[in-house]
Amino acid sequence: MSATIALVDDDRNILTSVSIAMQAEGYVTRLYPDGESALKAILENPADLGIFDIKMPRMDGLELLRRLREKSDMPVIFLTSKDEELDEALGLAMGADDYITKPFSQRLLIARVKAILRRATYDRPLANGEPTEEPEPMVRGRLEMDPARHHVKWDGKSVTLTVTEFMILEALANRPGVVRTRDQLMDAAYQDDVYVDDRTIDSHIKRLRRKFREADPDFSAIDTLYGAGYRFADS
């Protein structure tokens, strides 16, 4: 089944051109001229990925993402202008999965979409006509992670994570007790040409802790090593 992409931008030319490019790749697109109309539609009929402009009337992209994250972990790519670096950092800290600066090439955008959908669904390519082997579920103490299905449990209770949060947690849990620097966590969660600052990784860690504490108020498996980074330390 083709993935559905929600395109949200007040520039009709961008909506049209991006929609044509996505449809040419086999995706289904839904177009919205502002965040307000998009929020209602996406919550009623979820998409697989969103591409949001930041600066829009009737609810901008940041507010759309904030309100969407209350009920949905749909991956989101932001379209930004060169003078919106602060908004880019804020958007990533709030849970966006990537951003692309305008003007951008359709080829680059398509590559980012494919990468994020692949991470979100683990829709792996075929090898010699046969599906490649799915990654094995991982158990670390009370933590269970199933990368093939993007499922996470703590003490048997489901914890819903965004793609970026999942990738950061996976990088930490892969080697319990080993300190991961912020740079290493950035490499695990973002493509090489996406720059995020230390505060963005810190924000993701805070959200991870908050989500796990909703399942277990005593959760303390992610340690902060000041000046060094983070580690997964559940026994």
Together in a domain, 59 and 113: yes
State whether 109 and 16 are in the same domain.
Answer: yes
Q: 191 in a domain, yes or no?
A: yes
The total domain count for the chain is 2
How does strand 49-53 pair with strand 4-8?
A: parallel
The pLDDT of residue 123:
41
List average pLDDT for each run of 10 residues in the chain, which is 235 residues long.
92 95 96 96 95 91 93 89 65 79 84 81 46 74 88 91 85 94 83 59 88 94 93 83
Q: Does any domain span residue 133?
A: no
DSSP states of 12-72 as a string? HHHHHHHHHHHHHTT-EEEEESSHHHHHHHHHHS--SEEEEESS-SSS-HHHHHHHHHTT-
Domain enclosing residue 85, as ranges: 4-123
Q: What is the CATH number of the domain that holds 222?
A: 1.10.10.10
Q: What is the pLDDT of residue 124?
A: 43
107 and 21 together in one domain: yes
Listed residues 100, 123, 146: the one ending a domain: 123
Closest-CA residue to 120 (of 164, 177, 175): 164
Residue 3 pLDDT:
93
Sequence-distant (6+) residues with CB within 8 A of 45 are 30
**98 with 8, same domain?**
yes
pLDDT for res 116: 84
